[in-house]
Amino acid sequence: MKMLINVAESVVSDALRGMAAAHPELTVDVDNRVILRRDAPVAGKVALVSGGGSGHEPLHGGFVGPGMLSAACPGEVFTSPVPDQMVRAAAAVDSGAGVLFIVKNYTGDVLNFDMAAELAEDEGIQVAKVLVNDDVAVVDSLYTAGRRGTGATLFVEKIAGAAAEEGQPLERVEALARQVNESARSFGVALGACTTPAKGSPTFDLPSGELELGIGIHGEPGRERRPMMTSGEIADFAVDAVLADLNPTSPVLVLVNGMGATPLLELYGFNAEVQRVLGERGVPVARTLVGNYVTSLDMAGASVTLCQVDEELLRLWDAPVSTAGLRWGM
């Protein structure tokens, strides 16, 4: 497989150096692998820290900035960051108002963020944690016990980040993050496998005439493999899977997310089908976001995330944000 890299061992460091050069509004510590808001810590503001394995860009480093995260900790490709990174990030952004860790439900992330929270509290930093577990495709997978954390992570980081930007206290920011997670569900589909730099070949075999329904963001197996389906058929399956678990009673935010190799032409066409299904099911749509936000390297495919919102959650979603990967209202 051809890749635009030097060597596999330096992929993450090279990307961080490039990010630092492109975004002077960030402080990027390449050696310690921590990405910070340059103005952190912000006096009186709750700090949000997240992170995870690299390969899901722009998640999480692309969501550091006003209105979202205070810091992000990138691990190696598809590998959790280590507690030292998380503690260093928390110490750098804590203003005394506390730090919220936003953690996707993968075993390595959960264990390392739990350890980091204990270490940070030993240093006098008040820490709260929120676990994102929105994927309805499977209950357990190769990487986790329980539902996986996927596209709802963006909703949690954006809405909790807006609340923190307003100066809301840690307890309220944590409660809003939990509300968003409990109100959101996702389902993903792979049309082709991803290729990790270290392996240099597809992570699993998916014949050209088939697709995998219910994959995770690391290419984990899903519910089933089927012959290739049309965009409309995939939308019917994915949206119905989400609605069967979510059963929204209020308008929803919609994220139609590309997995890394699916062009916007296809994603917008898929969004048209998602909107059709929601209309047929009587689900009102408040806002829609289409693009590559929570990716899996070069995987072909897409995921759908729905989050039911009330007036406050919608107001916080609409609030200004200025990050490398998400920007409006500034």
Show the 3-state SS of 279-298: HHCCCCEEEEEEECCCCCCC
Is 218 designated active site? yes
Question: Which among 37, 56, 88, 185 is annotated as catalytic?
Answer: 56
Residue 54 is classified by DSSP as E
Residues paired with 73 in a beta bridge: 51
Distance CA 25, CA 17 (A): 14
Burial class (CB in 10 A: 0-12, 13-18, 19+), 209: exposed
CA 277 to chain centre: 24
Residue 313: what are its φ and ψ, rounded to 5°?
-65, -40
Distance CA 98, CA 174 (A): 11
Sheet of 99-104, strands arranged across = 26-29, 34-37, 71-77, 47-54, 99-104, 127-132
Distance CA 98, CA 185 (A): 28
Distance CA 201, CA 204 (A): 9
Is 56 designated active site? yes
Question: Which among 60, 104, 148, 218 is annotated as catalytic?
Answer: 218
Distance CA 160, CA 152 (A): 12
Nearest CA to 34 out of 57, 21, 14, 16 is that of 16
Residue 276: what are its φ and ψ, rounded to 5°?
-60, -45
CA 78 to chain centre: 13
Residue 79 is classified by DSSP as S
Task: Give the CB-side neighbour count of residue 12, counting CA atoms within 13 A.
Answer: 25
Q: At what angle do helices 264-280 and 231-246 cross, to 10 degrees?
A: 50
Catalytic residues: 56, 218
